[in-house]
Amino acid sequence: MNQNLISTSEAINKLIQEFNKLPGIGPKSAQRLTYYLLRAPEEQARLLADAILSVKQKITLCSICFNVTESAPCLICGSDERDRSKICIVEQPQDILALEHTRVYNGRYHVLHGAISPTEGIGADDIRIKELMNRLQGSSVDEVILATNPNLEGEATAMYLNRLISPLGIRVTRLARGLPFGTELEYADDVTLTRAIEGRQEF
Ligand SMILES: [Zn+2]
């Protein structure tokens, strides 16, 4: 850590270090958050600490779609309102949040928890592909929407899945190319994401 960020308090340094481990939080932000909490009421710090522990203790993965959930199955898999003939494949649970926010998709999901990446040594067996194939066997699913990220890993994963799923006689679609290459779904704006879902094409 940058030398000028070290305070004389061990407790303060510890919190700065912990914040600094989080994605998107650099040393300066870690320091700002720490000093903000120092000034905040103790109750606010307690609520934050409780909320962090609570997600670790209460959240599990849905046994059907592998989304993060407090209930088993998750609210989407358990809902009678959702179209069971469609499954949208995403890389991460937070991608579901982004897609749900558009309100244009009413099917179910499957979370891979990653993407195939030879450079990082992540193969098909390292993500939830086997579980997806088990789910599709003998199911009433007639369309699988490949909503992996529009980057190299996401494309490689989509191509791999298309080869596995097409022979089952299930329609395979991919989000339209309205999404700029190299971005992640999580950060796409609603309009772009809406167009991408509505304009999905045969893979
Ligand atoms: Zn689920």
Q: Which residue has the higher pLDDT, 182 or 27?
A: 27
- Cα(33) to ligand 1 centroid in Å equals 34
Question: Number of C-alpha atoms within 13 angstroms, CB side, residue 183?
Answer: 14
- Cα(76) to ligand 1 centroid in Å equals 6
Residue 41: what residue type?
P
Specify the pLDDT at position 4: 52
Q: Are 110 and 66 in contact (CB under 8 A)?
A: yes
Tens-place pLDDT, residues 127-184: 999 999 999 998 999 999 999 998 889 989 999 999 999 999 999 999 876 777 787 8
- Cα(11) to ligand 1 centroid in Å equals 40
CA gap 21, 158 in Å, rounded: 31
Q: pTM of the predicted model, to two decimals?
A: 0.77
Angstrom CA distances, 120 to 79, 116, 126, stand at 36, 9, 11
pLDDT at 192 over 90: no
- Cα(75) to ligand 1 centroid in Å equals 7
- Cα(109) to ligand 1 centroid in Å equals 7
Residue 81's CB is within 10 A of a number of other CB atoms, namely 6
Encode 44-60: b = buried (16+ Cβ within 10 Å), e = exposed. eeeeeeeeeeeeeeeee
Q: Which residue has the higher pLDDT, 186 or 16?
A: 16
Q: What is the mean pLDDT of residues 66-83?
A: 95
- Cα(70) to ligand 1 centroid in Å equals 10
Q: 33: which residues sit within 8 A by CB, 6+ positions away?
A: 19, 25
Q: Which of 68, 37, 72, 66 is nearest to 55 (CA)?
A: 68
pLDDT at 108 over 60: yes
In this structure, is the dihedral angle defined by the CA atoms of residues 147, 153, 155 and 158, taken in order, positive or negative?
negative
- Cα(184) to ligand 1 centroid in Å equals 22
Specify the pLDDT at position 1: 47
Segment holding 72, helix H or strand E: none
- Cα(95) to ligand 1 centroid in Å equals 14
Q: Cis peptide before 27, with omega less than 30 degrees from 0?
A: no
Beta strands (DSSP E) in 55-96 are 60-61, 68-69, 83-90
